[in-house]
Structure 1
């Protein structure tokens, strides 16, 4: 995916994380989602039309639509005050596609960083599904995951690419470590979240 697109996606996901946490207003965040979503629909169409039509080239450009459509759907949901269930089911579909990109990054391209990144995105889209369609109480956790991913999978990698150091061996090693530690942080936070839900039940049984 174009690193310019990743850079813009980082800004949107950062604001979306604040919206989910209740620290930003829905309509103002929705406008940015629509703006970036439109850009990430127009750009891949242009890239596909002007490409050599190689199947892997189309495969890479198609991934931009996943973000563009998500931002458009999220923005429309926020601006129109929709219940979000349709957005959630769409996010489940995107999460499944992201798993395909994760596996392909490993099997076809032998790219550990891309595999970890796509795996983290798949998890994020899954959380949006759990929150919006299944109405699970995961918004606090979702906002944290979205906030972290807006920086470690989108914004900072884009800046490093603009500086011309993203694909250097030392940066690749550092960023592999950063992504692994982010995943560990997500796991620990999820364990604490589950424990916080279980404690009232445990205390209730002890009282009985």
Structure 2
């Protein structure tokens, strides 16, 4: 994924997370989704056309299309009022594919982006649960995770790369994994549905 594209992926994940938290409407988020989705479709197409068509170029383009199609679909659904179930099932496809891209990244020598790909797999799995299976009790948690990943797996890494400050290492990947796990656990505690708390049996004193 290009640094510029990743930077704007951060922006759209943050905005979509705010949408899932109910702070803005889907129609209000539609323009950014359409713009970033178009960017994430045009860039890989240009990469394929202008390179020798090698395996690395094709694999990189395939990853970009996953996100581009997602954001275009979000924007189109918001503009048309189409139901979200189709996008939800596509999100499951993206989640599974992201695990494969994590493995490919590991094979290519990347470490931090292995963590990022797995984080994106988890987020798109949440999209599947909310949009396709109707698990609306997970909506706030999904929104919070989207905002967090928009910052930590997209906007900040892209900003560091654009500034020439990006460093990838196994130690950094381990630190990112520990930080990510801690943050996700904290987000769940803050956003978990009240019904889950209410269903927990009270202790007998």
Moved segments of 4+, more than 3 Å = 172-176, 187-199, 202-206
Q: How many residues were matched structurally?
A: 203
**d(CA) in 2 for partners of 1:88 and 1:134?**
8
Residue number in structure 1 paired with 2:33: 33
CA distance in 1 between counterparts of 2:193 and 2:22 reads 23
What is the CA–CA distance in structure 2 between the aligned matches of 1:138 and 1:201, rounded to whole Å? 16
Offset at residue 80 of structure 1 (A): 1.7
Structure 1: runs of 5+ lacking an equivalent: none
Aligned residue for 2:159, secondary structure, equals helix
CA gap of 1:28–1:201, structure 2 versus 1, over 3 A, is: closer
Aligned to 2:43: 43
5+ long unaligned stretches in structure 2? none
- The answer for the alignment partner of 1:53 in structure 2 is 53
Pairwise CA RMSD of aligned residues? Answer: 2.3
What is residue 186 of structure 1 aligned with on the other side? 184
Give the corresponding residue for 1:18: 18
Asked if the contact 2:10–2:154 (Cα under 8 Å) also holds between the matched residues in 1, the reply is yes
Shift of the 198–37 alpha-carbon distance from structure 1 to 2, 3 Å rule, reads closer
TM-score by length of 2: 0.89
Secondary structure at the counterpart of residue 138 of structure 1: helix
Q: Quick check: 1:65 aligned with 2:75?
A: no
Matched-pair contact (CA < 8 Å) for 2:138–2:192: no
Partner of 2:114: 115
Higher relative contact order (CA 8 A, sep 6+): 2
Contact 1:66/1:94 (8 A) holds in 2: yes
